Amino acid sequence: MSLIQITDNSRSKVPDSDKANLLKIADIKIGELSLEDNPNLLVFPRDLHRYGDEISENCIISMRNDEISTGNIMGFVGVNDTQLDIKSRFAKEDGDDYFLHYMLQKVFSINLFDIKHTTRQEDIFDFLLYLFPHFLKKALAQGLFKKYRRFEYNDANIRGPIDVNRHIRENIPFRGTVAYSTREHSYDNEVTQLVRHTIEYIRTKEFGANILNNDPETKNCVMQINLATQSYNVRERMKVINQNLRPVRHPYFSAYTELQNLCLRILRHESLKYGQEKDKVYGVLFDGAWLWEEYLNTILRPLEFNHPQNKNQIDGFRMFENKSGDDAIGKNSRRLYPDFWKDDFILDAKYKHLNNGVGREDLYQVVTYMYCKKARHGGYVFPYESMDDPMHYKLVGYGGFMHIIPFYVPQKPIDVNDNSWVWTNFVEGIEKSEKRLIGISNNPFEKEDDQVTS
């Protein structure tokens, strides 16, 4: 197994032995990597077309001669015996990608736990385990999965067709009971059993208790599964896995398809790492721009910022006062969907560096949002490795302000011993950055003497 490590938005040389495998994913849009053909590839966000930046149009990597380049996609992906580990550009030199995993835990609502040692990512962090509570709650929101099962009885209360052969075998000489079978709805089936086996597997992990007891909703979902699967038997794990190889297709329980896939990935984790089907793409990938935006939402939502959903047409606002304006110009409602907005502030989340300036289209877009909401403040938030002050620029016209806000991602100090700067130091530092962003969102001019550049 060959492992190549690289960070997002960077370049790296490729060994000749890995070129053929990487060519199978290089310069191919994510939307073209069919998840049906590659069922062991998980991509987040799951709805590739929900966001305006069209994640489905992005490529995992690009390849030119003996060099690969990455964009905003992070995670790990493999083809045959080649694995590509794409960390965030803020990853420590010794391999710990605290920033990526911190965002994952915040977005998927997992309690932050300490990291006491440094090994491969599957020993410290398991992306799949992070995702389990999210998919479990999503599936249980549709109710406990139930399906028809055949049950065999031998009593005097006949409720179904008589099983003649079994009746002769078990009830002769006659003893007052009849052998029969019924077809009944049951919550104890192969799908809920798969979820139960996954829960019990997670319990064996070092941080399993943190994941399964993360919040009251997760604990309640776990309890529902436990109560529904009274016939659970740890020795039947492989049997249950084999029963679930065919995906769930049910109009009322659509969320169980993804939960089923995730459970299979978790329970077959070892075999998936070392026994992949030839030429199939496998792994877990996250779009950095999406993850950064969703992480910011965990900070800004309590401040009453709206986080619009373009596809679902939620929380946007109109460009024209009257519908006649829409019909005359575009006939598409001209709804506007900033990343974040409240009455007097428009904020755009940018994962890329803005130290070289803001692109013209991005600038015009935010100014348009500000104008339509009569917002006095607009700006951009981007992750940065230096603790720079935000910059403020006054617009002509009605006099609004544009703010460029670097969000400091803690870095290990140069004069600190390698083993003395750990996960808790990172969490302490990034929580200070979060408080700083909250302060700026409430009062863009952090200090009374902030310099405004015209």
Do 276 and 138 have their domain in common?
A: yes
Do 13 and 85 have their domain in common?
A: yes
Q: How many domains does the chain have?
A: 3
Residue 197 lies in a domain: yes
Contact yes or no for 301/307 (Cβ under 8 A): yes
Among 79, 90, 99, smallest CA distance to 37 is for 79
Do 157 and 226 have their domain in common?
A: no
Residue 330 lies in a domain: no
Residue 132 lies in a domain: yes
Among 92, 262, 148, 250, smallest CA distance to 194 is for 262
Under DSSP, the state recorded for 348 is E
Among 371, 372, 373, 391, smallest CA distance to 381 is for 391
Residue 424 lies in a domain: yes
Burial annotation 261-295 (CB, 10 A radius, 16+ → b, else e) = bbbbbbbeeeebeeebeeeebbbbbbbbbbbbbbb
Do 402 and 274 have their domain in common?
A: no
Do 342 and 278 have their domain in common?
A: no
Do 111 and 242 have their domain in common?
A: yes
Do 89 and 197 have their domain in common?
A: yes
Pairing label, strands 11-13, 67-70: antiparallel
Residue 367 lies in a domain: yes
Do 152 and 134 have their domain in common?
A: no
Question: What pTM was estimated for this model as a whole?
Answer: 0.80
Among 76, 74, 93, 67, smallest CA distance to 12 is for 67
Do 178 and 197 have their domain in common?
A: no
Residue 314 lies in a domain: no
Give the integer Cα–Cα distance in Å for 57 and 46: 14
| Each residue's pLDDT expressed in tens, for the chain with a length of 454 residues | 688 888 998 998 988 888 888 888 888 888 787 566 777 777 877 654 444 456 677 888 999 888 999 999 988 888 888 888 888 998 876 667 889 888 988 888 776 665 544 334 444 346 778 788 989 999 999 999 988 777 777 887 887 788 878 877 888 888 889 888 877 778 889 999 999 999 999 998 877 888 888 889 999 999 999 999 999 999 999 999 999 988 888 888 888 988 998 898 888 875 444 445 566 677 788 889 999 999 999 999 999 999 887 655 666 777 777 766 555 665 555 678 888 998 899 999 999 887 777 888 889 999 988 988 889 999 999 999 988 899 999 998 888 999 999 999 998 776 666 666 788 889 999 999 999 999 999 888 765 445 555 4
Residue 252 lies in a domain: yes
Out of 162, 186, 210, a domain closes at 186
Provide the domain limits for residue 226: 2-143+189-289
Do 180 and 278 have their domain in common?
A: no
Sign of the alpha-carbon dihedral angle for 295, 285, 379, 454: positive
Out of 289, 322, 350, a domain closes at 289
Residue 309 lies in a domain: no
Do 107 and 156 have their domain in common?
A: no
Do 350 and 284 have their domain in common?
A: no
